[in-house]
Amino acid sequence: MKLASAQTLAQLADLLGVSYAGPAEHAITGLNEIHKVEPGDLMFVDHPKYYDKALQSKATTILINQEVACPEGKGLLFSDDPFRDYNKLVQAFGVFEKAAQSISSSAQIGEGTHLQPGVFVGNHVTIGKDCFIHPNVIIKDHTVIGDRVTIHANTVLGADAFYYKKRPEGFDKLLSCGRVVIEDDVEIGASCTIDRGVSGDTIVGAGSKLDNQVHVGHDTEIGKRCLIAAQVGLAGCVILHDHVTLWGQVGVKSDVTIGEGATVLAQSGLGKNVPPGKTFFGTPAKEARQQMKELAALQYLPEMVQKQG
């Protein structure tokens, strides 16, 4: 999320009631996660395992729960609970706007676009030309939709990220302030759910087609001309390069990258990266040819056990 106006390190330290290291006038222009950070962004880190990665990232400002030396060119905010204080910043700068009507007056809707009955369009949404939005679709605030996009009934774009911190008293939700971006010539089936980024964008690339009941988690990036069959579930921060095909009921864990032109066969559970052009299958998914050989070999296992007995 980009801030409407830049904030200084001293200003944010005062807002949060924390100490800091770095120049008081050090500028912060956005809030972001480590997967998406750019120069000018602030990110948080609250586990020693990720301190070095955070400090060496592109982020210019780090909200951290350990007093460490400040790297050159960066600013540090020292907090006893970075997760809590990051949420405070989201609440301060990602201002919630109540919906006053079904189609917000701040929405921009292109020529030739049709909205069927029951469609909800939130604040500051942009929809391009010649789109067809079917009944009861919900398009939440700041979503961006390109030209010639079709979205079928009951789909929801822009729900919050599924991101929680477990505490003794229960689960603490990380507030979302990102967007959903749907590029040109995309078709999205009925009853799909595409969550907005925690602080960046969840993207569906130009020409991609999603079947019914597909779920796309926060900050996931789907490339151009991908095919995703029914009941596929993509966790947060998944990357699909161009021309990827996922068949029905494939599940993909967070932070997995699927290379260009790769295929994952139906009902596979994918927990690791897939190289470009490869076909994977099974749970846990492996290269399809190897997986088929192993499954074929299993039919001989009872006979081998019986012989050994």
pLDDT digits (tens, 9 = 90+) for 276-286: 999 999 999 98
Residue 254 lies in a domain: yes
Mean pLDDT score, 146-167: 97
DSSP the chain: -EEEEEEEHHHHHHHHT-EEES-TT-EEEEE--TTT--TTEEEEE-SGGGHHHHHTSS-SEEEESS--PPPTT-EEEE-S-HHHHHHHHHHHHS------SSB-TT-EE-TT-EE-TT-EE-TT-EE-TT-EE-TT-EE-TT-EE-SS-EE-TT-EEEEPP--EEEETTEEEEPPP--EEEE-TT-EE-TT-EEEPPSSSEEEE-TT-EE-TT-EE-TT-EE-TT-EE-TT-EE-TT-EE-TT-EE-TT-EE-TT-EE-TT-EE-TT-EE-S-B-TT-EEETTTTEEHHHHHHHHHHHTTHHHHHHHH-
Mean pLDDT score, 266-295: 92
Q: Looking at the 3D structure of the chain, how many domains does it have?
A: 2
Which of the residues are catalytic? 218
35, pLDDT greater than 90: no
pLDDT at position 309 is 64
The CATH number of whichever domain residue 35 belongs to comes to 3.40.1390.10
Mean pLDDT score, 57-83: 96
Which residues constitute the domain of residue 74? 2-93
User: Which one is predicted more confidently, 272 or 291?
Assistant: 272
Residue 206 lies in a domain: yes
Q: Tell me the whole-structure pTM to 2 decimals.
A: 0.92
Residue 301 lies in a domain: no
pLDDT at position 95 is 76
Question: Do residues 44 and 114 both lie within one domain?
Answer: no
Question: Do residues 35 and 88 both lie within one domain?
Answer: yes
Place of tokens 């789907």: 222
Question: Do residues 129 and 217 both lie within one domain?
Answer: yes
Please give the mean pLDDT across all residues of the chain: 95
pLDDT in tens, 233-269: 999 999 999 999 999 999 999 999 999 999 999 999 9
In the chain, % of residues over pLDDT 70: 100
Residue 172 lies in a domain: yes
Domain boundary among 93, 116, 137: 93
Residue 102 lies in a domain: no
88, pLDDT greater than 80: yes
Mean pLDDT score, 158-182: 96
